[in-house]
Structures are given as structure tokens and as C-alpha cells.
Amino acid sequence: MDDTEETYALRAARDMRRKILGDAYVDAATADPAPVAAEFQDYLTTTAWGVWARGGSLGLRDRSLLVLAMTAALGRMEEFRVHVDSAPRTGVTDAELDELLFQVAAYCGVPAGSAARRVVRAARAERGEGE
């Protein structure tokens, strides 16, 4: 990949990250002025968000559902919460998220599904929504 392609790929990944997570989240995540912090954020953006920006046959909703399932399965509840909060921007409905929890519990274990359920309940409560 030449410098122009690399710059375009990073720009596309940055744009996708902001589109999905929102400006406030990305601004906070990239606020550390240390050079290594900026380099680390570029690495994360290029790696993780480059996958979202690459196109292909998966849409944003599908990618979001996959990330939600994988982060829940791995017990990465902080990251799961970030993606629960951004799920409406990708077209994931509350009903789909609820159904995903059953899949996680069945295939990844009840503790993973239960922990993810608690995160979803907390997120909805903070949005002022009930079950």
C-alpha cells in the first residue's frame, strides 16, 4: 500500500469511527497528547475501523451485530457497552439486541449472556427507557 492509499484508508477508518461512535466519544478517546497515544489510536482506528470502512457484503448493521456478539462472548463489557450505545446509529434495533443476548447465552455461556444483559439494561436505563 503506498502513502496515498494508506492515508485514504486511515481517513476512511477515522470517518467510520466517528460515524458509528460519535464525535464526543472519539474526541475523548484521542485526547491524550502523548505521541505514543496518537500512534496507538491510529493503529486501533486503522485496524478495527478499517474493517468497518472496507466495504464488502456486510452492511453496518451486520458488522455491528457481529461486534456486539464477539465483545459479549469475550467478556469485554466496556467495549460491548460502547457498541450498545452506538447500535442505533448502525440500524440495530432493541429487539435485535435482545435476541442477540439469547444467542450469546446459548453459544457462549450463560455468564456472558447475563453480563451482556446487565449492560444493555443499564444503557437503556441511562437513556430513560425501560425494558
Which letter does DSSP use for residue 1 in this model?
Answer: -
Encode pLDDT of 57-77 as tens digits. 999 999 999 999 999 999 999
pTM: 0.89
Q: How far, in Å, CA of 102 to CA of 91, rounded?
A: 19
The pLDDT assigned to 131 comes to 64
The architecture that CATH gives domain 57-131 is Up-down Bundle (1.20)
Domain extent listing, the chain: 1-55, 57-131
pLDDT at 4 over 80: no
Encode pLDDT of 14-49 as tens digits. 999 999 999 999 999 999 999 999 999 999 999 999
The pLDDT assigned to 55 comes to 85
